[in-house]
Amino acid sequence: MFINNQFFKIFRYMGLKIGIISMGSKSSRMILEEADNFFDEADHIDIRKIEVKIDDKTTVLYDGEPLKDYDCLYMRGSFRYSSLLYAISEHFKDKCYVPLEANSHVIAHDKFKTHLKLSQVSSIKMPATYFTAKITETKSFLKTLNYPIILKFPSGTHGKGVIFAESYSSAASMVDALDVFSQPVLIQDYIHINSDIRVIVAGDKIIGAMRRFAQKGEVRANSHQGGDAEPYLVTPEVKRMSIDAAKKIKADVCAIDLIESDYGPQILEVNSSPGLQKITETTKKNIAGEIAHFLFEETLRRKDLKNKSDSKDLNKDMGIEEIGSRDLVTELKMNAGRIILPEFASKQSEFWPGEEVVVKTSKGKIEITKG
């Protein structure tokens, strides 16, 4: 489906290259396989083989050699690699299309930073959240709450690091245990549900959504914890919140996890490196293909914009005023009664020596077209 629709664009832009930086998970391989249908070259780049060297300049090395040039670098990785992903994104942001800006890796991998950022968006609702560096302050705050509550590690993924506390005594014991390991903790209101919603965002579109159900006796609906799932029809409010959240953390491709409460949908977290197997199986949609298609279209769009910008800069350097998409004002030059076309006219018209052309003339006008 995608290949037929994009044939002429692909033919026109042969040579587009994408690099997918990840640990080689099944989801990353799915995207890589689909990207091969759009890009002339699609490479997997093992994040564990990347080094960042900083001296008088920054160099990103892969297997000891400078990472080669790409038109698009799509990065996926866990919170353990957030600093490295930040550095790579920051280095390449002006060199190619980077779907996730540098800060998005840091924000999405920290639940507290995510909530702090999303709290700045009026359309987004979230459960009340509390965070402190001092255990004594945390335990004092615990006494003011209504139970049960949820305790979370800021950097947990796949539903890990989510603890259910049904009373003050159990919450205080858990906080004491976490303090031994110098582990910070988030405290959130517990909203009684048995399911959550996962939405995959690509640009301004929702390309897949499912409702995930928790196993009996489990408070986490995450599929990595054994939960089941069904397709979910996104409501206008969920769509707006999800796209607004992705834009706020500047991630063109990501997953948004939400719950439906008595107060309407609320966002729990943003996942910058979502798994695709469960949502593909549940929705029966080619989610990896949709992501690859979006990355290709956006790379193509940015390539076009760059080419137009470069053309304008060239015209400016040559003293040419652009007054329309194809109308340019310049000085006419002649030699022995013959008009000499400027170099930019030859290049933009894509005429080549030896081609047959049709010349039509009238007073004040010459029109040349290919025969």
Task: Look over the chain and give the mean of its residue pLDDT values, rounded to a whole number.
Answer: 82
74 lies in the same domain as 39: yes
98 lies in the same domain as 7: yes
Q: How far apart are CA 274 and CA 74, in angstroms?
A: 13
Q: Which one is predicted more confidently, 256 or 173? A: 256
Last residue in a domain, options 171, 190, 209: 190
CA–centroid distance for 64 within its chain: 27
75 lies in the same domain as 137: no
Band of pLDDT at residue 369, cut at 50, 70 and 90 = confident
Tens digits of residue pLDDT in 25-47: 999 999 999 999 999 999 999 99
Judged by average pLDDT, the poorest of 9-18, 192-201, 251-260 is 9-18
Q: The domain spanning residue 45 has which CATH number?
A: 3.40.50.20
Closest CA to 268 of 131, 143, 145, 152: 152
Q: What does the angle CA 164 – CA 170 – CA 176 come to, to the nearest 5 degrees?
A: 105
Q: The domain spanning residue 134 has which CATH number?
A: 3.30.1490.20
Does any domain span residue 15? yes
103 lies in the same domain as 158: no
Tens digits of residue pLDDT in 297-352: 999 999 888 777 665 555 555 555 544 445 556 667 777 677 777 666 666 666 66
List 42's β-bridge partners, or say none.
18
Last residue in a domain, options 56, 80, 108: 108
The residue type of 63 is D
76 lies in the same domain as 143: no
**Does the pLDDT value for residue 72 go beyond 70?**
yes
Does any domain span residue 308? no
| pLDDT for the residue numbered 215 | 67
Q: Which one is predicted more confidently, 281 or 128? A: 281
Band of pLDDT at residue 12, cut at 50, 70 and 90 = very low
Closest CA to 251 of 295, 297, 288: 295
User: What does the block give as tokens for 276?
Assistant: 């695709």
Average pLDDT over residues 360-368: 82
**Does the pLDDT value for residue 239 go beyond 60?**
yes
Does any domain span residue 117? no
| pLDDT for the residue numbered 9 | 46
9 lies in the same domain as 60: yes
Does any domain span residue 70? yes
Does any domain span residue 251? no
| pLDDT for the residue numbered 325 | 46
Q: How far apart are CA 181 and CA 187, in angstroms?
A: 17
DSSP notation for 6-54: THHHHHHTTT-EEEEEES--HHHHHHHHHHTTTSSEEEEEEGGGEEEEE
- pTM across the whole model: 0.72
Q: How far apart are CA 26 and CA 232, in angstroms?
A: 23
Does any domain span residue 161? yes
Does any domain span residue 326? yes
Q: Which one is predicted more confidently, 162 or 274? A: 274
What domain count does the chain have? 3
Does any domain span residue 305? no
Tens digits of residue pLDDT in 97-118: 999 999 999 999 988 899 999 9
Q: How far apart are CA 14 and CA 303, in angstroms?
A: 12
94 lies in the same domain as 168: no
Domain hosting residue 132, numbered range: 128-190
DSSP notation for 294-362: HHHHHHHHHHHHHHHHHHHHHHHHTTPEE-SSS-EE---EEETTEEE--HHHHHHHT--TT--EEEEEE
CA–centroid distance for 21 within its chain: 13
- Identify the burial level of 293 via C-beta atoms within 10 angstroms of its C-beta, where 0-12 means exposed, 13-18 middle and 19 or more buried: buried
54 lies in the same domain as 152: no
Last residue in a domain, options 108, 139, 163: 108
Closest CA to 77 of 246, 292, 271, 298: 271
